[in-house]
Structures are given as structure tokens and as C-alpha cells.
Amino acid sequence: MINNWILIGLLSVSTYLSRVIGVEFMSGREMNPTLRMYFNYVPIAIISALIVNQILTPADGEIVISFPILIGCLATAITIKIINMFLPSVVIGIAIGILTRYFL
């Protein structure tokens, strides 16, 4: 519990620092375009890794694919590609995941 509060404190300080340093100290300096692009790709990589992390779950020292999660994710991917709306796609993905769990 206390750990969570310390974590929140550290996260808020590090996040605020990254913002204010950008505004106050980096302005007027040209950042290397390669570095700029690298930072733009980091969130994509981390989000992808987190999805994989949720689909593959460790059980008894081995990795198991969770089919309800995998199929739910695929359903969301297809839905958001077609209708391009965040909340409905999430709801459809979860519904299909629940159905998969129920019937599998």
C-alpha cells in the first residue's frame, strides 16, 4: 500500500520533470531527428509488448496462450479498423472474449 503511494509520487515527479525540462531547457535547441523518431516509436513497442504479455501467461514455468484474450484482441483489432471508434471496439472485444471463454 505504502509502496503504491511512493510509486505514484516518483511517477508524478519523473513525468513532470520530463515535461518542464522540455519546455524550459530543450527549447531553441535542435534535437537530433533520429532520436526524435526513436522516442516516437517507443510507446508503440511498449504497448505491443504489453499485449503479448497478456496473451501469453506463465503457468507452472511454461507459457500458455490464452485463447479468450487472443480472440478478444483480434475482434477488437478488426472492429476498430472498420468502425474507428474506441469504446464500442473495446466492448465488442470483451464480449467476444467472454463468449470464447464460455464456449471453449
Partner 1 sequence: MDTKKRTVKTGFIEALPLAIAIAAYGLSYGVLATQANLSLASTIAMSLLVFSGSVQMVTVAMLASGATFTSVLFTSVLLNLRNLLYGAALAEGFAPAKKKWRWLLSFGVSDEPFVLGSARFQKHGPDPLYFGIVASTFYVAWIISSYIGAFIGGQIDPLKWGLDLAFPVTFVALLIPSLKEKPIIATALTAIIIATALEYLIPGNELTIIITGVLSPLVGLYLKRRSRDD
Contact positions with partner 1 (CB under 8 A) in 37-76: 37-56, 58, 61-63, 68-69, 72-73, 76
Closest approach, Cβ 60 to partner 1, in A, equals: 9
Report the C-alpha gap between 53 and 30 in whole angstroms. 36
Q: Does 32 bind partner 1 (CB under 8 A)?
A: no
Residue pair 72/96 in contact (Cβ under 8 Å)? The answer is yes
63 Rama class: left (phi>0) / alpha (psi -120 to 50) / beta? beta
| 31 near partner 1, rule: CB under 8 A | yes
104 lines the binding site for partner 1 (CB under 8 A): no
Near partner 1 in 80-99, by CB under 8 A: 80-81, 84, 86-87, 89-90, 93-95, 97-98
Sole residue written with cell 509520487: 9
Q: How far is the CB of 4 from partner 1 (least distance, A)?
A: 5
Task: Give the HSE-up count for residue 10: Cα atoms under 13 Å, Cβ half-sphere.
Answer: 6
